[in-house]
Structures are given as structure tokens and as C-alpha cells.
Structure 1
Amino acid sequence: MAQQEARQRRPSIHDVASHAGVSAATVSKVLAGVTTVKPENAQRVLDAVERLAYRVDPLASDMRRAKRRIIGAIMPEFESEFFGQMVTELEGLAEQRGYTLVAASSRESEAREKEILGRMHDWRVAGVVLAPVRNEHGPAASFMKANGMTGVLIDRVLSDDAFDTVSADSAAASAEVARMLVGKGHKHILIIGLAEGAATVRARLEGFRTQALALDPSIRIDVITSEVSVEPLRSSLRDYFGRGERPTAVYSLLLKGTLVALSEFRRR
């Protein structure tokens, strides 16, 4: 029975040291890639590691550092190609540096966003990449600041004093769309979008409206937005088109809005 338990027990660094005839410190150096260990000792360690099928215990290693080699990523949702690709890229970058990425979706809920962040704080993650539901001033970012967490805020943010931020120039991009549509002679444009409280959505809307009106003060710009769910947006679009409204161009601020608009167009 004792022999069976010994076989089932996960081999430790001390087991490797015993089999290799070296100290545990020497084993640690070899596994860390330190080149000052004598070649014959290093080979004995590697042979023992293979023979015992030894694997480094990440929890024990992380406890010594007081931080785990885990990076958290919180995205508003995973359905869009944008956020899915973002997680894929982050995962690759993390693994190149010896970290594991743990990703979760807030599902466009600030309450869930903060809850997930709390779990990651409990796990003592090395840092968090957060694409907030709204902006850099939401409850999640405040939680990170209050608890001294390391993080980067991306996408739906403008700027922040406590964290690095990464985002596109939403206002300038929308202004370019406005120049293109007005330049093509459009006089009635519908703007649709979700997450109306998000910083980037507000910036896109303002950038478009400012540029379009500067080019043509008589242009008509209708705006239909929904806070989170696509269903209220879908309902609003049905009412809008049901009243006989026929804009000559539609500008969608987010991918989900585009998909909803296309489905409603097909109904007409």
C-alpha cells in the first residue's frame, strides 16, 4: 500500500536531487537554465527529471514570488472576431514570456466584470488586461487601483493616470467615415450602436457628428443605440423602419450593431 502511494505521489525537487546525487539548489539552477552548473551534474539532473517524469510545481514556485505566472484578461464578450483575436494574440505573447493567460468575458456587465476581477485578485495574478464595459472610470478599474493591481486598459478607454491604456483614435476614425459619406452625397445617415456608455462609442459618435455637420450643416443624422442587449436595438430599428424612415447610409459603431441592422434590412 505504501509503495502504491509512493508511486502515485507527485515527485518533488528533493526526489530529483536524491536520484541525481546533487542538492535541491543544484536541481533548481539546472531547471532555471543557469549555466554555471557542472555539465555532468546538469546531465544527471536532466536524466533524473526524465526518469521521474518530474514537473515543476507552479503553485509552490509562485508562492515564493508572491505572484503567480498568470495574466488575466477580461473582455466584454468573445462573440466578436475583434475580442477573440485579441485573446489569441495576448495568449501568444504571454506564453512567449513564460506566463499563462486566463481569459473571461464580462458579458457587458459591470457587476460581473468586477466579480471576475475580484477572483483574479484572489489568485494573485501577475497582471490584468482589461477591456472595460464602459470606460476607464468604471468599478473594475477603481477596484484595480484600490487593490494595487497591475494592469493595462484597452479598447473602450481614452486615457488614465494609473494604468497604461491602448486604444484607437475613435473620434478621428469616425471623422474619416463622415468625410467619406458626406463626400458621396449622403444627406440622411443613421448611426447605430451598442454600449452607448462606452468611452469609445461616445468618441465615435461625437467625431462623426462634428465632422459631418462641419461639412454639411443641413445633413440629417439619426442615432439609435442600446445599452447592452441587441434586442432593444433590434426593436428600435424595427420601429424606425416601420415609420417609413429610409436613410441613404448606415454607420454602425460596433460589429453587433452591424449584424442586427443587416438582419432588419433583409426583413424589408
Structure 2
Amino acid sequence: MTKREQSAKEATVADVARAAGVSKAQAARALGGYGAVSEQVLSLVIAAAEGLGYRPNQLAKSMTTGRSNSIGVVVGDIENAHFGLALRGISDEVRDAGYTVVLVNTDEDLANEVAAVQELLQQRVAGLIVAPCSSTDTSHLESAQAHGRAVVLFDRGVRGLALDTVRVDFADAALEVGRLLLDTGHRRIGYVSSQRVKAAYQRGMDLGLSPVADRVDGIERAFTEAGSEWDPALVKLNATSDDALAAACAELLDQAEPATAVVCSDSLIALRVLGQIKRRGLRIPEDISVVAYDDFAWTELIEPPLTVVAQPVYDMGREAARALLRRLGHRVPAEQLPLRAHLIERASVSAPTVSSTLPGR
């Protein structure tokens, strides 16, 4: 058969095996990424497959290996640009390895997350990248492992499971945020997040292995350094809807002693908090200072530009994908991308109109 005749139909594993001079079983293992083949056989098969324009039959592959060429990604809120940018990093990294991404949004709800993982397992995804909404409820992740699926955690960790976890340590950056606001004169510092908890925040509450835990702890440590305590009533969690966020802002801004600064847990929360501030006719930073986590273009373009804590979200996505690909047996560079958060001071923070004092200040 001529090359022209060969290219007129889809090349098969048998065609690749003949061109490579190896057995069909060896070619199948090399092309399917399962079993053991020597470096020499792998090189011969890859060269033959490229020469013939071989395209794998993914259905047949999933039936043989028990997994497809898809990666399942489970996140809490795809409306949040943080997850959107991370997804771009994940997609860019896995594409070259021949995988596509199946995305599921959970609305930060554990039942939705459990159902998502179960559905993705039924779809025979090769592996999972999950931003878990709970640090302790992990039976669905254990089930994925039991089904032979590689699991990588993104942005948040869990307890009791040995899983690769890609997240930024915010301890230093969060401490900087607390120090900045305290040094500027703020004592009534609000914090708003969509993280779900079952009760109102109290000092020392276990917020799991989450970025929120790092960020709250950083501000609390800044207060401790200053010889005082942060009022726990100013930490507003569960802001998972417009109504819940509006209620949180009302509790921070409409009281006899309102917050003079608000720290927003992510860019989506920040947009909604800014809307609440505007509705009240308050000025930034004259009437209230604002700090946001995540540095997206709009945070620098608005007036005044927002002080933010930047983190390498795209690289976080890429690193999560790399960790998963390694678990799937792919040759991925061993060096890890640097994942550090840092404070960027802009014009949205200034001294409060009415200041209070702390001991020693």
C-alpha cells in the first residue's frame, strides 16, 4: 500500500505496528500510555504514528485502559475570574499531552461536588483536579483514588489524604495587608468571603486548609503584634449570593461603628462590595479603604486603582495540570513554577476619617 493510499484511510494500531516493526501489542501499549515498553520501542512507535498521521480511537482506548483522554476539573464558582484564569492554565498544559478538559461548577456546595466527582468517574476521566469546598469531607475523593484515578487538589487542601496540592501560602502577604491597614490607622477592618461555614466566625475557628484561613490568620497576627484583638464580628463569611453579600456589607457599613476598611477575598467579591459602597455614596479611600485578593486588569483601571494581593493564578493552573500529568505517567519538567503572593499598594487605602488608637500607638 502506498503512502497516499495509507493516508486516504485512518491509520490503525496494526498499521503503526507494521511501520515501526514491532508487535501490535507493543504498539498499543506505547500509543495507549499503559503497560511497559522500552524507550526504543516507544521512539519507533511515536515516529511511525506521526508519519502515518495516526489518530487514536478514544472510545477504544477508554475501554482498554478504563480511562478516556479527558481531565475533570471541579471548581466552586466559574463566574469567579480566579477559576477562569486557572482553567486556562490547566487547559494550556494538558492540551499538548493530548487531553481535553471537562469542567464542572459546584457553587461551593459539597453535595454538588460529590455528584460532580461521581459523574466524572462514570465518564472515565483520566484524572481530576478539584478545588474542594471542604477540608474534612473527603469520601468522594477517596472513592476517586479507589477507582484508580489520579487526583490533584487546587487552591485548597484536605486533611487525611495524601494528595498533591497546588496552592499559594498567603501567610506573609496577609500579614502585610493587616500591617498596612493598621499602620494607616484602621482598627475596624472587615473581611468578606464566600467560604461556607455553619456558624458566625469566632476567633480561632477552624477554616480548614483554605486561603481564607491564611488571610484571616494574617490579619489577626497583625493585630496581635499591635497588642490588640480583631473584632471577629467584622469577619463575614457565607457571602455566596448577592443577597448574602448585601447583608454582610450592611452589617459592616451601616452600624454605629462601621468598618473603615474592607478586605475582599477575591475579585468577584470585590466587584460586589464596590457596588454596595457606591450605592451608599461612600468614597474610596476617603470614606472607606478597600483591599482585594487577585490582581486582574480592572483592579488597576478603576478609579481609584485597588490595592491588591496578587497571586500567579495562571501558573497555579499549569502547576496543577503538571502534577496530574506526572501522576498519569507523562514526562513533565520536575521543576515547579514559583507560586508566591505579594501585596501591590495602590490608591484605595488611606487613613480613616475617624481614627482610633491601639495600646502603644
State the TM bucket, normalised to the shorter chain.
0.7 to 0.9
Distance 2:190 2:43 in 1: 65
2:132 alignment partner in structure 1: 132
2:107 alignment partner in structure 1: 107
Q: Does 1:154 align with 2:166?
A: no
1:6 alignment partner in structure 2: none
Distance 1:219 1:15 in 2: 69
1:69 alignment partner in structure 2: 69
Secondary structure of 1:194's counterpart equals: coil
Q: Is the 8 A contact 1:187 1:220 kept in 2?
A: no
Question: How big is the shift at 1:231?
Answer: 1.6
Q: Does 1:235 align with 2:247?
A: yes
Question: How big is the shift at 1:170?
Answer: 3.1
Distance 1:107 1:89 in 2: 21
2:38 alignment partner in structure 1: none
User: What code does the residue aligned with 2:59 have?
Assistant: L
Runs of at least 5 residues in structure 2 that lack an aligned partner in the other structure: 1-8, 32-40, 198-206, 281-361
User: What code does the residue aligned with 1:266 have?
Assistant: K
1:211 alignment partner in structure 2: 222
2:265 alignment partner in structure 1: 253
Question: How big is the shift at 1:155?
Answer: 0.8
Greater relative CO, 1 or 2 (CA 8 Å, sep 6+):
2
Q: Is the 8 A contact 1:91 1:101 kept in 2?
A: yes
Aligned-residue Cα RMSD (Å) equals 3.5
Distance 2:229 2:110 in 1: 39
Distance 2:79 2:250 in 1: 23
Question: How big is the shift at 1:129?
Answer: 0.4
Secondary structure of 1:125's counterpart equals: coil
User: What code does the residue aligned with 1:13 have?
Assistant: T
Distance 2:172 2:11 in 1: 57
Question: How big is the shift at 1:239?
Answer: 4.5
Question: How big is the shift at 1:127?
Answer: 1.0
Q: Is the 8 A contact 2:132 2:158 kept in 1?
A: no
Secondary structure of 1:235's counterpart equals: helix
User: What code does the residue aligned with 2:218 have?
Assistant: G
2:89 alignment partner in structure 1: 89
Task: Call closer, same or farther: CA 1:240–1:251 in 2, change over 3 Å.
Answer: closer
Task: Call closer, same or farther: CA 1:89–1:219 in 2, change over 3 Å.
Answer: closer
Question: How big is the shift at 1:163?
Answer: 0.8
Question: How big is the shift at 1:115?
Answer: 0.6
1:5 alignment partner in structure 2: none
State the TM-score, normalizing by the size of structure 2: 0.58
Q: Does 1:265 align with 2:277?
A: yes
Question: How big is the shift at 1:216?
Answer: 4.1
Secondary structure of 1:135's counterpart equals: coil
Question: How big is the shift at 1:122?
Answer: 1.3
Sequence identity (%): 24
State the TM-score, normalizing by the size of structure 1: 0.75
1:3 alignment partner in structure 2: none
Between stretches 202-211 and 87-96, larger displacement belongs to 202-211
Q: Is the 8 A contact 1:158 1:167 kept in 2?
A: no
In terms of fraction of residues, the more helix-rich structure is: 1
**Equivalent residue pairs, number:** 246
Task: Mark the structure with the bigger radius of gyration.
Answer: 1
Distance 2:165 2:43 in 1: 38
2:326 alignment partner in structure 1: none
Question: How big is the shift at 1:226?
Answer: 1.8
Task: Call closer, same or farther: CA 1:189–1:14 in 2, change over 3 Å.
Answer: closer
